[in-house]
Amino acid sequence: MVDRQEINYRKIQEAIQFAIDNYIKQPSLEELAEHIHLSPYHFQRVFSKWAGVSPKKFIQYLSLQHAKSLLLADKTAMETYIEVGLSSSSRLHDLFVQTEGMTPSEFKNKGKNLVIRYSSILSPFGRVLIASTDKGICFMAFYEDYVEEVNNLKASFPNAAFMEVSPDGFQDIGRLFEMRSMEARSIKLHLKGTPFQLKVWESLLKIPEGRLVSYSYIAGEIGNPKAARAVGTAIGNNPVAYLIPCHRVIQSSGMLGGYKWDLGRKACMLGWESARASLLERK
């Protein structure tokens, strides 16, 4: 069953994708609204409720991401922020994540003896399938087809036992998507990956909300500056959407790059996080 929030997001995603595709033309509010067959008034109202800012301001946030990425060239305050895992005194980086890699036997046996519980929640960016072991979140993915995504989950751990549970068990994750949320949280991840992948994913966790880094920057952070391509592959294999913020990594040129859960969704997430960061800075 599709609810109103999900319908609104799909329309917003379509409008944002249109804005990205026609960025040089700087589409107006009327053009964005017309593209998704809404009146300008209704589009402005729906968009502002979702993003916390007007469509015009949101597009500005997306544009600013390119300028922010240039800060990486001289590694100013960004380097310090990432090093300590904090963004600023305004508590923008309110997500504290602990990671634990699966044991060699769990990795080798593809989840044998693991019990994995899973369910679906609705986020501002569409529906999310979440799964966890007793040790922490092991899988999180945006999806369009629930059955297909559950099959993807089971293929990742072919020897595990699975239990579908109530979404109530993942309420803490749901609260992360609140626009005005400032409550610090602790979330544990239980990840299946190679030592190199785990190193890359742990580096991603240091990127504060509202900030961006490049693939080459992450390669440097893990002590292998020539491994930008391998870093990109590891980022593409991220098993936990949003919590491991691979959406905050872009190309050195300032272009968004790719995103396994849809490039339009990546743009939505970056603009939404910038809007939330701006909102929290004013508090």
For the annotated catalytic residues, the residue numbers are 246
Report the sign of the C-alpha dihedral through residues 18, 21, 22, 24, in that order: positive
Alpha helix positions (H), the chain: 4-21, 29-35, 40-51, 55-69, 77-84, 104-108, 146-156, 171-175, 195-204, 215-221, 228-236, 263-281
| Alpha-carbon gap, residue 74 to 131, rounded angstroms | 39
| Alpha-carbon gap, residue 177 to 194, rounded angstroms | 29
Tokens 């592959």 belong to residue: 233
What amino acid is encoded at 69 in this protein? S
Assess contact for 163 and 174: CB atoms under 8 A: no
Secondary structure of residue 160 in the 3-state scheme: coil
Secondary structure of residue 117 in the 3-state scheme: strand
| Alpha-carbon gap, residue 241 to 53, rounded angstroms | 24
